[in-house]
Each structure stands twice: as structure tokens, then as C-alpha cells.
């Protein structure tokens, strides 16, 4: 279920009593296999998860909420990305188990809470694992149809963030409803403010070269929602007058929790915004920004392997490289960034493809990415697209 890199990330999670991190990737894989097997058995009749798996899922539930709390309350931890990834994966396994057993899904967004699926999506983004966030977004979309207007649109924005479809976020809108219930009106206002923050963050990611201070506008909104979602309650009880005791509070826990996760996601993803990549040495900054902004509309975030390649000088003019990632590992993003380097430097690119079908696909992709003429040529028995 996990490649060596993600298995290592899981094993790097925070230590907890009685939790053997070295065995955790294998235990998660075994539970996933049991859930898949249950779904197959249900096709032929009633079936249930083994008692041992149910006990393990309860353990995963404790891991999920504990690690998620660590991510939110201790943002400076060195193992924060590992904690976020483990929390997200365990939330996802619990979601799959509930769905396989026909459980009723919790509300996606409410005054009191956000669903574990929303938590998982944002935790994957905090861990900079966008492919997992994309899968989670698809799981959430089908569950959001029954919500009221602002919640439905906000859920769509969160899913679009998970899928990297930031252009659609900027265009989202909803009809403001006049709500007679004060609590419902307050919740709608708080979630509406969070939607505004997500739209500002999407605008930053798409045009990061225009923002000198990073995603500060969006993060300011998330901080404001976080603050006004919690209010201390005045009480005449003498015990709470003592400074050593914490007074009771009134809170809208759902908006507070969502704003807290978005703060973490915005802080992490702000550093991974593709549009924020500076021009390689010697390149024209204006031409580079134009080319990279075009790529960012479809692939807005750099993955950890992309960032590592850039740190090694992959984009420097004159640098030759061999890139080998598994399918879906992000080779296309690096290829397009390398092409942008050449084009911004006034050069031309020959892109080889092994089959005629891939030539057509490559031509379409490169045309969409750079809006420059791409022509096909035929050479011996190979095909290639030339910019």
C-alpha cells in the first residue's frame, strides 16, 4: 500500500505509548486489505469485519485525533509532516471502513464539527501529499450535496483545493441567505469568511509572483475566524476566578477547527506554490513568470520530490538531468518547468515520445501549458513533438 518513501514518513511520526511505529505501515496495509475483502464479501451476502480489525480501527481512531491535535497545537514540531500524514491516512482508513459497513457519514461541515474526511484532506495538504488529498476530495464531493448554500460552496472550494483546481475556487459564489436563527446566521458568516480566505489563498497560489508577503491575507482571515469562534464565558463561580483555572468557553468548534487546519495548509502550501518559483539564474523574470503562471493553473503545487530537484539545480540553464519517478510521481511538472526554462531563455525544445498516440497527447498538453506553436515531426520510426 505504501512505497518506501511514504512508509518511512509514517515511521517518522511522533512516538506514543504502546505505538510501534516500525510496524504501523504494515498494520495499516493489513487493515486496508481487510476492508477491501469485506467489500468483496458483501457482494455475495452479509459480512463483517473481524473483531481484531475493529480493535485496530479503534486504535487508529485514537492515533488520528492525537496526531491531528499535535499538528494543530504544535506547528513547530520537526515531525509535523509525518504526524499530519499518519493522521490523514488513519482518518481515511476509518472512512473506508465506515463506508464498507454502511455507516451513516457525519455532516461535512456544522457548527460543532467538521468531518474526518475534511480533516484528512487538509492534513494531506499539510503533509504536502497532494495526490492523496485529491483522492480524498473525490470521496467528499458526493457527501456535500444536502448542505445549505454556503456550506456546499465552501465544501466545493475545499475539494477544489485538494484537487489543485484553484481557478474554479476564485469563481465560486453563493446566494447570501437571511437566517432568523442567530446561531445558524453566525455559523454561515464564519464559514463564509473562511470561503473568502480560501479564495484569497487560491489567488495567491495562482499569482504568487505578485505577492511579496506570501499568503498573509488569507492567513489573517483564518486567524480572525479562529479567534472569534471562541469566547470566554463570564461566570460568578469563585473557582474560575482563580488564575490557575481555565474559565468555560462558548465556541463554534466547526469553523474554529477548519480555520486552524487551513492555517497549517496555507503555511505549508505557500512555500510549495509553483508560481512562486523564482527564475533560474540568467533568465528574464517576466517571461519566466508568464510561462510558470500558465503551468500553475493546472499544477499549482510543487511536491517534495519537485522541491528536492529544484534545490539540486535542476532548472539551472545548461544542467542536464535524468529523472525517474513511478507513474504519477510528478515527472510532467518537472518536464514542463524545464521547458519553461529553455523557452524563457529564447531556446527551442525537442520532446521525444515513443508512440504516435503519445505524440498527439504531448502536443495538446504542451500547447495548453505554454500557448506556443507545437508541431509534430516524423523521424525514422520515432515520433516527437517540437516546440
pLDDT at 235: 65
Distance separating alpha carbons of residues 314 and 334, to the nearest angstrom: 9
Chain centroid, CA 233 distance in Å:
35
Structure-model confidence comparison of residues 181 and 161, the more confident one: 161
In contact, 195 and 154? CB cutoff 8 Å: yes
Question: Which pLDDT belongs to residue 243?
Answer: 56
At residue 381 the predicted structure's pLDDT band, cuts being 50, 70 and 90, is: very low
Average pLDDT of the segment spanning 215-238: 85
**Does the pLDDT of residue 78 top 60, yes or no?**
yes
pLDDT band at 159 (very low <50, low <70, confident <90, very high): very high
12 Cβ contact partners less than 8 Å away, ≥ 6 residues apart: 21, 79, 82
CB atoms within 10 A of CB 201: 26
Give the span between the Cα atoms of 27 and 180, in whole angstroms. Answer: 49
Q: Out of 113-127, 162-176, 193-207, 359-373, which region has the weakest mean confidence (pLDDT)?
A: 359-373
DSSP string, 250-307: EE-HHHHHHHHHHHHHHHHHHHTBGGGPPPPTT--HHHHHHHHHHHHTT--B--HHHH
Q: Is the dihedral of CA 180, 182, 188, 193 positive or negative?
A: positive
pTM given for the model: 0.84
Q: In which element (H, E) is residue 385 found? A: strand 382-386
Mean pLDDT for 103-132 is 91
Average the pLDDT over 38-46 and give the result: 85
Instruction: Compute the average pLDDT of residues 9-36.
Output: 93
Give mean pLDDT, residues 60-72.
Answer: 95
Per-residue pLDDT, averaged over 275-293, amounts to 84
Model confidence band, residue 148 (pLDDT cutoffs 50, 70, 90)? low
The sign of the torsion formed by the CA atoms of 175, 139, 206, 255 equals positive
Cell output for 45: 451476502
Q: Are 272 and 264 in contact (CB under 8 A)?
A: no
Residues ≥6 apart with Cβ < 8 Å to 283: 317, 341, 344, 345
Provide the pLDDT for residue 142: 64
What mean pLDDT is reported for the chain?
85
β-pairing verdict for 382-386 and 350-353: antiparallel
Amino acid at each position: 500500500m505504501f512505497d518506501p518513501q511514504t512508509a518511512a514518513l509514517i515511521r517518522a511520526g511522533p512516538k506514543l505509548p504502546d505505538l510501534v511505529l516500525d510496524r504501523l505501515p504494515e498494520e495499516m496495509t493489513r487493515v486496508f486489505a481487510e476492508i477491501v475483502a469485506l467489500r468483496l464479501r458483501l457482494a455475495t451476502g452479509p459480512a463483517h469485519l473481524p473483531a481484531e480489525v475493529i480493535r485496530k480501527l479503534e486504535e487508529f481512531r485514537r492515533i488520528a485525533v492525537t496526531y491531528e491535535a499535535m499538528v494543530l497545537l504544535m506547528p513547530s514540531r520537526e515531525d509535523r509532516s509525518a504526524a499530519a500524514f499518519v493522521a490523514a491516512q488513519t482518518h481515511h482508513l476509518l472512512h473506508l471502513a465506515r463506508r464498507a459497513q454502511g455507516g451513516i457519514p457525519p455532516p461535512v461541515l456544522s457548527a460543532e464539527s467538521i468531518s474526518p474526511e475534511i480533516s484528512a484532506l487538509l492534513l494531506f495538504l499539510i503533509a504536502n501529499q497532494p495526490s492523496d488529498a485529491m483522492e480524498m476530495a473525490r470521496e467528499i464531493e458526493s457527501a456535500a450535496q444536502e448542505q445549505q448554500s454556503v456550506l456546499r460552496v465552501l465544501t466545493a472550494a475545499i475539494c477544489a483545493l485538494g484537487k489543485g483546481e484553484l481557478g474554479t475556487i476564485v469563481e465560486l459564489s453563493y446566494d447570501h441567505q437571511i437566517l432568523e436563527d442567530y446561531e445558524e446566521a453566525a455559523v454561515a458568516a464564519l464559514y463564509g469568511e473562511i470561503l473568502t480566505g480560501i479564495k484569497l489563498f487560491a489567488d495567491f497560489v495562482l499569482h504568487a509572483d505578485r505577492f511579496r508577503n506570501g499568503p498573509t491575507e488569507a492567513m489573517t482571515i483564518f486567524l480572525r475566524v479562529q479567534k472569534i469562534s471562541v469566547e470566554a464565558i463570564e461566570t460568578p463561580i469563585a473557582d474560575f476566578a482563580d488564575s490557575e483555572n481555565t474559565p468555560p468557553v462558548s465556541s463554534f468548534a466547526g469553523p474554529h477547527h477548519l480555520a486552524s487546519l487551513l492555517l497549517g495548509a496555507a503555511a505549508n502550501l505557500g512555500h510549495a506554490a509553483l508560481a512562486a518559483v523564482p527564475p533560474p539564474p540568467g533568465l528574464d523574470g517576466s517571461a519566466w513568470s508568464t510561462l510558470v503562471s500558465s503551468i500553475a493553473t493546472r499544477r499549482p503545487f510543487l511536491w517534495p520530490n519537485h522541491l528536492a530537484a529544484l534545490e539540486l539545480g535542476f532548472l539551472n540553464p545548461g544542467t542536464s538531468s535524468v529523472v525517474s519517478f513511478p507513474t504519477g510521481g510528478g515527472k510532467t511538472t518537472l518536464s514542463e518547468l524545464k521547458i519553461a526554462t529553455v523557452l524563457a531563455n529564447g531556446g527551442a525544445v525537442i520532446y521525444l515520445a515513443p508512440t504516435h498516440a503519445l505524440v498527439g497527447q504531448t502536443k495538446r498538453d504542451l500547447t495548453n501549458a505554454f500557448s506556443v506553436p507545437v508541431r509534430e515531426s516524423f523521424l525514422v520510426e520515432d515520433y516527437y513533438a517540437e516546440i
